[in-house]
Amino acid sequence: MAITRGIKHRIRGVYSTQKITRAMNLVAASKLQRTRNKLQNLRPFMEETLRVAYDMAARVTDRESVYIKARPVKNTAIIVISADRGLCGGYNVNVSKAASALISQNTREHLITAGTKARDYFRRRNRNIIRTYQGVSEMPFYEDATDIGLLAVDLYESGEVDEIYLVYTEFKSIISHTPKTLRLLPLPDSPENSGYMDFEPNEEAFLAYTVPKYVSAVIYGAMVESSACELGARMSSMDSATNNSTELINRFTLQYNRARQDAITQELTEIVGGAEAL
């Protein structure tokens, strides 16, 4: 009966794993619901902030403004938004790879990571990480985004970096997420001025006030998008893990029954054989 005991043990093991994956699936599903509501309320703000920022960038008369004029790029700041925990399919790897694509030979990268997974990814590759944030991926707060945003804008204003990129994952549906790269600064420079605009109190003060706000707002939006993706990815990967364990349990149960039958048949033959020998 040694074989049947081994199989029984494995069935029990898979079963308890399945319990965990099912629970994780349910937890992710309910968190996702909340995050999706948040995202729905946030999207208009994100879209309008981007639109207004680009509108203004096109209308500012001072084309030499530090926020608009592209400088020769020597240092690039890359903000990567990933998850703190794994068990969510390819989510973390995809976003980290998208960020890696921005790193080139000619420029020095300055990485700001949100979530431990991106930090680990780049640390293993000996990349230059200047700041990391943890514990923000599932429940991002506006304050976290402001922290990251102000840090990045500071680096940009002081000339330590010449551009700021943001890499996050865009939420399309529960099963469809795509890593997205966005250049936050400098703002896109349009060749011709697209019209007059009166800036209050004045152009310079306006930009100095709005640009950090725009950067923080977009980072916050990206964090919420990413968090929805993380939860969606976790939900679907835990769902398939649960299905896989059901399959495993079925296969092991079959094996177990066969082994049990074999053992019984064996015993019977032995008894019959023994009786005949008498």
Partner 1 sequence: MSKRLSLKIITPLRLLYDEDVDMVILRGADGDMGILPGCESRAAVLGYGPLRIFNNGAEENELAVMGGFAEILNDKVTVLSDAAEWPSEIDRVRAEAAKARAQQRILQKSGDTDIQRAELSLRRALVRIEVSSYPLIRGRK
Can residue 196 be called a binding residue for partner 1 (CB under 8 A)? yes
- N-to-C CA span, the chain: 27
H/E element holding 129?
A: strand 129-133
Adjacent-strand bridge partners of 182: 166
Shortest Å, Cβ 51 to partner 1? 8
The residues in 93-152 that bind partner 1, with binding defined as CB under 8 A, are 142
Given the rule CB under 8 A, which of 63-71, 161-169, 173-181, 214-222 is the region that contacts partner 1? 214-222
Q: Using alpha carbons, list the distances in angstroms from residue 140 to 143, 212, 224.
A: 8, 18, 6
The crossing angle, in degrees rounded to 10, of helices 142-157 and 203-277 is 120
Neighbours of 82 (CB within 10 A): 28
Can residue 198 be called a binding residue for partner 1 (CB under 8 A)? yes
Give whichever of 47 and 262 is closer to partner 1, judged by the CB atom. Answer: 47
Distance CA 148, CA 81 (A): 11
Shortest Å, Cβ 120 to partner 1? 29
User: Looking at 7, 14, 58, 88, which residue is catalytic?
Assistant: 88
Can residue 41 be called a binding residue for partner 1 (CB under 8 A)? yes
Can residue 56 be called a binding residue for partner 1 (CB under 8 A)? yes
Q: CA 120, 125, 126, 128 torsion: positive or negative?
A: negative
Distance CA 115, CA 161 (A): 22
88 is catalytic: yes
Give whichever of 121 and 220 is closer to partner 1, judged by the CB atom. Answer: 220
Give whichever of 201 and 273 is closer to partner 1, judged by the CB atom. Answer: 201
Which of 3, 197, 248, 263 binds partner 1 (CB under 8 A)? It is 197
Which of 9, 16, 55, 101 binds partner 1 (CB under 8 A)? It is 55
Can residue 209 be called a binding residue for partner 1 (CB under 8 A)? yes
Distance CA 244, CA 236 (A): 12
Do the bridges between strand 177-185 and strand 129-133 make them parallel or antiparallel, or are there none, so unpaired?
Answer: unpaired
Distance CA 249, CA 18 (A): 10
Given the rule CB under 8 A, which of 15-23, 54-62, 183-191, 227-235 is the region that contacts partner 1? 54-62
Can residue 213 be called a binding residue for partner 1 (CB under 8 A)? yes
Residue 85 phi, psi (nearest 5): -125, 160
The residues in 141-170 that bind partner 1, with binding defined as CB under 8 A, are 142
Count the residues of the shown chain that bind partner 1, applying the rule CB under 8 A: 26
Which of 165, 220, 252, 256 binds partner 1 (CB under 8 A)? It is 220
Given the rule CB under 8 A, which of 202-210, 230-238, 248-256, 268-276 is the region that contacts partner 1? 202-210
Binding mask 221-250 for partner 1 (x = CB under 8 A): x-----------------------------
Distance CA 240, CA 253 (A): 20
Q: Which residues contact 73 (CB under 8 A, 6 or more apart)?
A: 107, 162, 163
Catalytic positions, written as ranges: 88
Summarize as ranges the residues that interact with partner 1 (CB under 8 A): 41-42, 44-45, 48-49, 52, 55-56, 59, 142, 195-201, 205-206, 209-210, 213, 217, 220-221
